[in-house]
């Protein structure tokens, strides 16, 4: 299994994000180059899984990062690499507690990223001048 999972905690529960280049045996939806997010609900119950459909002619890769979504309580933001026919780039998704996935506008990171260590953070500080920003 691929290592380096990301973890974020929100009011909905504990979220895990990962890219699995081997096929995770613990996820019943696992496939090669799976980029997925798992939610362990705060109130208990079975884990919930979201897998991301690769873009046409490409796949998602890298070591994804998670952060609480400051615009949607309980939701997370997932940053990952997206390899398409046009070349690699950064992709950011919002995932809600109901497992709704929304691709967000993403800044350009240049023509060829040389690192698969994505990073994303959101400011949750009530007194911070940047509170609510990612």
Using one digit for the tens of pLDDT, what is the confidence trace for 102-117?
988 877 666 555 566 7
Burial 7-34 (b: 16+ CB within 10 A, else e): ebebebbebbbbbbeeebeebeebeebb
Q: Name the residue with higher pLDDT: 125 or 56.
A: 125
Least confident of 25-29, 53-57, 70-74, 121-125: 25-29
pLDDT of residue 5: 80
pLDDT of residue 68: 96
Least confident of 89-93, 114-118, 128-132: 114-118
Mean pLDDT throughout 109-131?
78
Residues in CB range of 77: below 8 A, 6 or more apart: 66, 67, 68, 69, 92, 93, 94, 95, 104, 120, 122, 134
Tokens of 54: 């690769």
User: Across the strands, what pairs with 34?
Assistant: 20
Q: Is the dihedral of CA 66, 64, 28, 102 positive or negative?
A: positive
| CA 51 to the chain's CA centroid | 10
Whether the per-residue pLDDT at 1 is higher than 50: the answer is: no
Band of residue 15 on the pLDDT scale cut at 50, 70, 90: very high
The pTM assigned to this predicted structure is 0.81
Q: How far apart are CA 130 and CA 14, in angstroms?
A: 24
With contact defined as beta carbons under 8 Å apart, do 66 and 17 qualify?
yes
pLDDT the model gives residue 66? 94
């Amino acid at each position: 299994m691929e290592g380096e999972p990301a973890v974020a905690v929100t009011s909905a529960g504990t979220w895990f994000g990962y890219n699995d280049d081997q096929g995770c045996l613990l996820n019943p939806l696992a496939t090669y180059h799976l980029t997925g997010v798992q939610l362990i609900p705060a109130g208990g119950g079975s884990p919930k899984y979201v897998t991301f459909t690769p873009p046409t002619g490409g796949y998602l890769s890298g070591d994804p990062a998670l952060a609480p979504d400051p615009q949607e309580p309980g939701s997370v933001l997932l940053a990952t690499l997206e390899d398409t026919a046009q070349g690699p780039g950064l992709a950011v998704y919002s995932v809600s507690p109901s497992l709704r996935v929304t691709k967000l506008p993403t800044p350009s990171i240049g023509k060829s990223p040389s690192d698969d260590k994505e990073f994303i953070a959101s400011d949750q500080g009530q007194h911070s001048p940047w509170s609510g920003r990612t």
